[in-house]
Amino acid sequence: MTHQLDLVEMEIRRHDWSAMLCGCGESGGHLPALLLELAAQTGAGAGIDYEGVARHVVSPADMFLEPTPPVVAVIMAVLASKTSGYARVAYLEMLLSILSADAQEPLPALEGRDVAAECEAEVRRGLWALYAEVLSSKSIDARSHAYEILTLIEEDEERVERLQETAGERLPWDLRS
């Protein structure tokens, strides 16, 4: 794997994927390969899409699953890496989908956990990567997804307003002030 994905690989190695129940009903042991394949993609049709990966992470009923928090950590590593615009948009779209979920599956492994809070905390640790995405991405999709994620999790509303002003026409018309 190239140096571009070193951070992603490092984050993937932090988790015991085989010990997790995947959204497909199997062990999550196959998730690292899917996550790396998506991170390495440079365009549509080159392999799997984010929806193919997202089905393993969030249930069809938009409920969190056991691998959801580790996948969020991998997404943040992708955003801190030099990955293709295609991969960044795919991962930002997946992150937006994850953060929009509102419940968690009643799985024994998730009992007593607040998976939504865990995911939000992980994203907040890499908040500046989202700001940078809004201000510097060449992709309007990446900029808009990153901005929408920030509106969901950023606690400093004034900072988001300043971002909106600063980004100006780089944001789609419906996200501008």
Condensed to tens digits (0 to 9), the pLDDT of residues 56-65 reads 888 878 888 8
Residue 4 has pLDDT above 80, yes or no: no
In this prediction, residues 64-78 reach a mean pLDDT of 94
- Which residues of 22-117 form beta strands (DSSP E)? 63-64, 103-104
Q: Which of 133, 47, 120 is nearest to 83 (CA)?
A: 133
* DSSP secondary structure, 31-55, as one string: HHHHHHHHHH--STTSS--HHHHHT
Q: Classify the C-alpha dihedral 99-105-106-109 as positive or negative.
A: negative
Condensed to tens digits (0 to 9), the pLDDT of residues 79-94 reads 999 888 999 999 999 9
pLDDT at 46: 59
Condensed to tens digits (0 to 9), the pLDDT of residues 119-166 reads 999 999 999 999 999 999 999 999 999 999 999 999 999 999 999 999
pTM (two decimals): 0.91
